[in-house]
A and B are shown apart, each in its own frame.
Chain A
Amino acid sequence: MTVPSFVQIRRPDREPKKTIELQIDGKAVKVPEGTTILTACRTLGIEIPTLCYLETLRPVNVCRVCMVEVEGSRVLVPSCSRQVEAGMVVRTGNDRVNHTRKMVLEMLASSVDLSTTPGMDELLEEYDCKPERYGPPAPPAAAGVRDAAVCGHHTPPNPDFAATVAQPPMVDNDLYIRDYAKCVLCYKCVEACGVDHQNTFAIAVAGRGFDARISTELAVELPDSACVYCGNCIAVCPTGALMAKREFDMRSDGSWDEEKQKATDTICPYCGVGCTLTLHVQGNEIVKATSPLDNGVTLGNLCIKGRFGWRFVQRNAES
């Protein structure tokens, strides 16, 4: 995907940048000052897997999948946020890097339901991950238990199981669901809801350690929270933990079929902003609306109307 970076979209450069020369996997590369290692790698065609990184969000470097080795650094560095420096020597695919990536992916796959994470199966295979070696997954927590976890001494682990974040999906409104059994805690939804995009601040990370979770204040249900249902959190969620209710329902009854879907770009009919809408149509029915990440108007964002307010189209067709 060729997407202009967040910085370029939001803050156009007034002065030309200095060029930085560095070495990646033995190849010399010249990139503008301020470029991240990840972007520099992509200019060389070196693929680096990411989970918590998105072009339209400020990097939080928490998933640690994109780690690379930088000569002189005691530990590996996150390529998504670390900016290039002159003379840097970067290695992206040695044993040390691959080991950390493999372990991070295994840790996630053994504790989180990654079944709806695009590209994850291939990634787990590429890094030879064996999440089952940590033991059978522990039974899911009852609803509300993870939200009530108290900081401090935890319940000792059960040696028969591997701890997971499994819990029932939260279905508390008609527009979207939150299935935190699928949450890798990438912080993207918090960022999109907060200063990066929406400035609604309906959700934040609560709790600590393995009990950390995305939560509204006092874990109230969405209709009681500050949520404005823009769905911009859904747009950035990498695992399908946040999903439009329509898609969730169709997946539940087995009718969701991406191969049969056609995406068509159009302009949102509601207001004068003119957001680009991508309508995902399956069987002559709109099943989802998104906006392209690289759209200069939306950066992938929509409002409640653009994201969810297309059922009227079907209504006419039905009648």
Chain B
Amino acid sequence: MDIRLLGAEPSAEEKSAIDEILGAPVSAWDGGERGSMRDAHTAEFGGHSTREQRHMLLPALQALQSRVGFITEGGLDYVCARLGVPPAEAWGVATFYAMLATSPRPRRVVHVCDDIACRAKGAVKLCAALEARVGPPISHEPEGDHVPLDRDKAAWMHSPCLGLCDVAPAALMVEAGETVMERSIGGANIERLYALLTEIKVPGADGANKPHILRSPQIVSGGLLQRVGKVDPTSLAAYRAAGGYAALAKAMDMGAEGVIREVTESKLVGRGGAAFPTGRKWEAVRTQKAQPHYLVCNADESEPGTFKDRVLLTEDPFAIVEAMTIAAFATGSEHGFFYVRAEYPLAFERMNGAIEQARAAGLLGENILGRGMKFDIEMRRGAGAYICGEETALFESIEGKRGEPRNKPPFPVSHGLFGKPTAENNVETFANILSIILDGGAAFAKVGTPQSTGTRLFCLSGTVRRPGVYEVPFGTSLRALIDMAGGVPEGRTLNAVLLGGAAGGFIRADEIDIKLTHEDTRASGTTLGSGVVVLFDETVDLRDAVLRIAAFFRDESCGQCVPCRVGTVRQEEALHRIASGKTRGGVSAELALLNELGDAMKDGSICGLGQTAYSAVESAIKRLGLYSEAGSAHA
């Protein structure tokens, strides 16, 4: 395939950043010099071998972004030449991700979160103060072709949830350069942000990339968080000394079918939000005839209010590597992908370190534990797109395409990554595997309730006294969980709880005796989702939180299907009309319209994003009565 390039030359800096990721070009066909025999039109060069590298498109664009701070014309052209990707398609991919800038930007950008949990902790005021002090953020609609900013200075922009809700308000600083600098900032205040935007030197006392991690109470002994804070997450030796890799050895003794039997018996269901039985998924992949099989760890934890996977990945990365290896053994996969959201630099670093150490120790690679098993894990980073947490959108993203979800069926177990059978699980799901193997599925199933087995990690944030990750057995009441976290601050009253994230729903303060199980939440019309529990006391404007959720879905819709692309816009507009008192035919007419839109989004959207974009809004209307007469008086 001949592709037409822009004809723009990359700078030496851009070229070296891209070559670092892709290796040096081998012929004129993939961006190298002309004149060698390798330029000959042979099947070896320029054809499939180049185009098969399409899955390196996002990493190559990220390398460019990390080095120069935005996707330059010359850089884009060079990436396209290297990978045989038409520039229009590469442009489509680059413009899909919020962390990739497609117009010039300063090297340093501070992303300031103003999502639900940070909002409850004053993020809106913080952003307003920041704007007053340093000027407006990078805007959605830049004037003309370029953002008028000084390249040498820094800029800031609003950010959706950064997964640092336990240390809200939060921010993330990214500075492009020879070595990209990324800092997660918890407890952000105006002075701190001002310093980051005006001082070129980053305050060294930051604790490097380390976000403040709150220790979470461990309720169940031998639970998921048993090593958190106790075992050095950067040392394989420490992990092994704490019993690590015993599960993998035992799994190999049990055989693939034995592993799946235990996982099925444990009744473990996925912890990403959809709660699909893990054993059934693995068995479906294992028995697929098509080869190869792939294993994917979904660490694109982006549901607003969710940060449990961040804690697991930063504090116990070897457990995830070991569990992925067991899953690969059970499903017959030799190739695994670990896809983590861009906003988790420390998680990426820790997992990368863990994978490298495991590889060096023969725990990944050609002959794992000397028993002939072959498996390795490739790392991928997201680039700022909530939708890529959707399982099939994540495949598209890995494949170097826009993160647009696929229509199902066919399902990933038969047609997943690269069209092959794929087992994709959430980080917390993987974390549960180790105890299932070591103690048996039956023992696992004894914890929790008969239908919701094991423990669950809950992310407590908002106006809660002790935010953090709490592990409790399924069946614990929400009230007990809130009490463990100290409830709302002294002297305040709980007004509402957001359960399950933006894709979940609000519940009233008088409903918190609900048992935290899949069956109980389903029965009362709500969901556990990804384990989000955001508390709101009377200091939080709930209607503002609803507006933010509506804006979030409008921002994060991939734009592929009409119900979601336009529905999320119309939903937000209706809520703004209510908020501004400019309703079309009164509040009740707007609520009826919202319901009509919600039904169409639920029934007509391709994926879970559109299908749940009305959930939280609906719960605010129907459960909280936020827009009824009483609710209006209250707000």
Tell me if chain B binds chain A: yes
| Interface set of A (CB-CB < 8 Å, partner B) | 61-65, 67, 75-76, 78, 81-82, 96, 99-100, 103-104, 107-108, 110-111, 133-135, 144-145, 148-157, 159-160, 162-163, 184-185, 199, 201-212, 215-220, 225-226
Q: A107-B570, A159-B580, A203-B88 are in contact. Are A64 and B556 (CB under 8 A)?
A: no
Q: A103-B596, A108-B562 are in contact. Are A201 and B604 (CB under 8 A)?
A: no
Tally chain B residues at the interface, Cβ within 8 Å: 74
Who on chain A is nearest to B157 by CB? A152
**A204 vs B407: C-alpha distance when bound (angstroms):** 19
Cβ-defined contact, B96 with A208, below 8 A: yes
Cβ-defined contact, B89 with A133, below 8 A: no
Q: A99-B600, A103-B604, A215-B92 are in contact. Are A153 and B551 (CB under 8 A)?
A: yes
- A249 → B minimal CB distance (Å): 27
- B102, B554, B606: the one contacting A62 at CB < 8 Å is B606
Cβ-defined contact, A107 with B562, below 8 A: yes
Contacts beyond the supplied A62-B560, A134-B573: 19 A-B pairs with Cβ under 8 Å: A62-B562, A76-B603, A100-B603, A103-B604, A110-B570, A133-B593, A148-B144, A149-B141, A150-B139, A151-B98, A152-B384, A159-B577, A206-B91, A209-B559, A210-B566, A211-B559, A215-B91, A217-B91, A218-B76
- A291 → B minimal CB distance (Å): 24
- B95, B563, B576, B604: the one contacting A208 at CB < 8 Å is B95
Who on chain A is nearest to B580 by CB? A159
Q: Can you report 5 A-B residue pairs in the complex whose CB atoms are below 8 A from each other?
A: A159-B573, A206-B96, A208-B95, A208-B557, A217-B6
Cβ-defined contact, A150 with B593, below 8 A: no
Who on chain B is nearest to A80 by CB? B407
| Interface set of B (CB-CB < 8 Å, partner A) | 1, 3-4, 6, 73, 76, 86-92, 95-98, 101-103, 114, 137-142, 144-145, 157-160, 384-385, 402, 407, 409, 551, 554-563, 565-570, 572-573, 576-577, 579-580, 582, 584, 593, 596-597, 599-600, 602-606, 611
Cβ-defined contact, A153 with B140, below 8 A: yes
Q: A107-B563, A111-B569, A148-B103 are in contact. Are A204 and B88 (CB under 8 A)?
A: yes
Provide the residues of chain B in CB contact with A149, threshold 8 Å: 140-141
Q: A107-B562, A134-B573, A152-B384 are in contact. Are A207 and B96 (CB under 8 A)?
A: yes
Provide the residues of chain A in CB contact with B138, threshold 8 Å: 150, 152
Who on chain A is nearest to B140 by CB? A154
**A206 vs B93: C-alpha distance when bound (angstroms):** 7
The tally of CB-CB contacts under 8 A between chains A and B is 223
Provide the residues of chain A in CB contact with B91, threshold 8 Å: 204, 206, 215-219
Please indicate which of the listed interface residues B89, B145, B556, B579 has the most CB atoms of chain A within 10 Å of its own CB.
B89
Cβ-defined contact, B562 with A209, below 8 A: no
Cβ-defined contact, B141 with A145, below 8 A: yes
Provide the residues of chain A in CB contact with B558, threshold 8 Å: 208-209, 212
Q: A210-B557, A217-B88, A217-B90 are in contact. Are A64 and B604 (CB under 8 A)?
A: yes
Provide the residues of chain A in CB contact with B556, threshold 8 Å: 208-209
**A29 vs B283: C-alpha distance when bound (angstroms):** 34
Q: A135-B584, A151-B96 are in contact. Are A104 and B600 (CB under 8 A)?
A: yes
Cβ-defined contact, B86 with A155, below 8 A: no
Cβ-defined contact, A155 with B141, below 8 A: yes
**Which 6 pairs show the lowest CB-CB distances between chains A and B?**
A212-B559, A201-B86, A103-B600, A217-B87, A204-B92, A107-B566
Q: A76-B603, A144-B145 are in contact. Are A64 and B158 (CB under 8 A)?
A: no
Cβ-defined contact, A206 with B95, below 8 A: yes
Cβ-defined contact, A104 with B88, below 8 A: no
Q: A215-B88, A226-B87 are in contact. Are A207 and B606 (CB under 8 A)?
A: no
- A62, A110, A134: the one contacting B561 at CB < 8 Å is A62
Cβ-defined contact, B604 with A104, below 8 A: yes
**A148 vs B148: C-alpha distance when bound (angstroms):** 13
Who on chain A is nearest to B73 by CB? A218
- A157 → B minimal CB distance (Å): 5
Provide the residues of chain A in CB contact with B88, threshold 8 Å: 201-204, 215-217, 225-226
Cβ-defined contact, A111 with B140, below 8 A: no
